[in-house]
Amino acid sequence: MAELPLLVARALWLMLPAYIANMGATIVGGGPPIDGGREWSDGRRILGDGKTWRGLLLAPAVAVVFTWILRALGTVDPLSGWGLSGFGPGPWWVVLSYSLGFGALAGDATVSFVKRRRGFERGEKWLGPDQLDFVLGAWTVALLVSLVLHVGGLTASNWFLGAFTGPILLTLLVLTPGLHLVVNYIGWRIGVKEVPW
Ligand code: CTP
Ligand code: MG
């Protein structure tokens, strides 16, 4: 395969745990909200009913299960020749894929906090932050966890810095917003999302 398609394939592959966790939250989410129904000093909800514990904690676990499948798929031809990530050395792929998923949902919740402060109702569109919150959250948490694993001597190098190179980060920043909008539109059409964005 040519260089650019390979770069795109490697980038999207690396981000799949975050994408799956973000999508998975709409399916496994629900139940008690993280903010416990409480309001901020402005009289609005802290996060709102769209941010639940199940989404935050269970959706990343769904991503880990999918990562287990991805790791197996990555060894099969022709995928095995594409240099796709195994999501970390030894057993650490479990922790690292969970951190990508958890970071995605944490970033999403952070933007929900800002949305509520700005007066946006739950589910109201905020183009830009809605598409990139989970990307930046996934990167931040996975970087921190990689740092701890490396500094703690558990891994030989910083997994995040080795895997998410500059070109990969750039590719994901360019492709994710469009992909997010398409996936959400499909999610709305098939009835798993309440709004088409
Ligand atoms: N979800 C959840 N728990 C989370 C994140 C998401 O249960 N921590 C579920 C909710 O059902 C939510 C759906 O996934 O409605 C889609 O997430 P998102 O679009 O981020 O939430 P919105 O409802 O649009 O809320 P907000 O305005 O706060 O972004
Ligand atoms: Mg959101």
pLDDT tens-digit readout, 12-23: 999 999 999 999
Q: What is the pLDDT of residues 148-181, one digit of tens each?
A: 999 999 999 999 999 999 999 999 999 999 999 9
**Sequence letter at residue 49:** D
Q: Which residues pair with 33 in a beta bridge?
A: 52
C-alpha separations of 60 from 73, 107, 156 in Å: 19, 13, 25
Which of 28, 44, 51 to mutate for ligand 1's pocket (most ligand atoms within 8 Å of CB)?
Answer: 51
Of 178, 38, 50, 180, which is closest to residue 111 (Cα–Cα)? Answer: 50
| Main-chain dihedrals φ then ψ at residue 116, nearest 5 degrees | -65, -40
What single-letter DSSP state applies at residue 153? T
- Letter for the amino acid at 50? G
Find out whether the beta carbon of 180 lies less than 6 Å from any atom of ligand 1.
no
Q: Are 126 and 111 in contact (CB under 8 A)?
A: yes
pTM score of the predicted model: 0.95
Residues 72-110: tens digit of each pLDDT: 999 999 999 999 999 999 999 999 999 999 999 999 999
Tokens 């810095």 identify what position? 161
Mean pLDDT of 112-132: 95
Identify the nearest ligand to the CA of 121 by its number: 1
The amino acid that residue 45 corresponds to is R
For residue 44, give the ligand nearest its CA.
Answer: 1
Question: Which ligand approaches the C-alpha of residue 131 most closely?
Answer: 2
Question: Two tokens at 44?
Answer: 């609005």
Residue closest by Cα to atom 16 of ligand 1: 26
Q: Which residues surround ligand 2, an ion (CB under 5 A)?
A: 108
Q: Name the residue of 35, 44, 52 to mutate for ligand 1: max ligand atoms within 8 A of Cβ.
A: 52
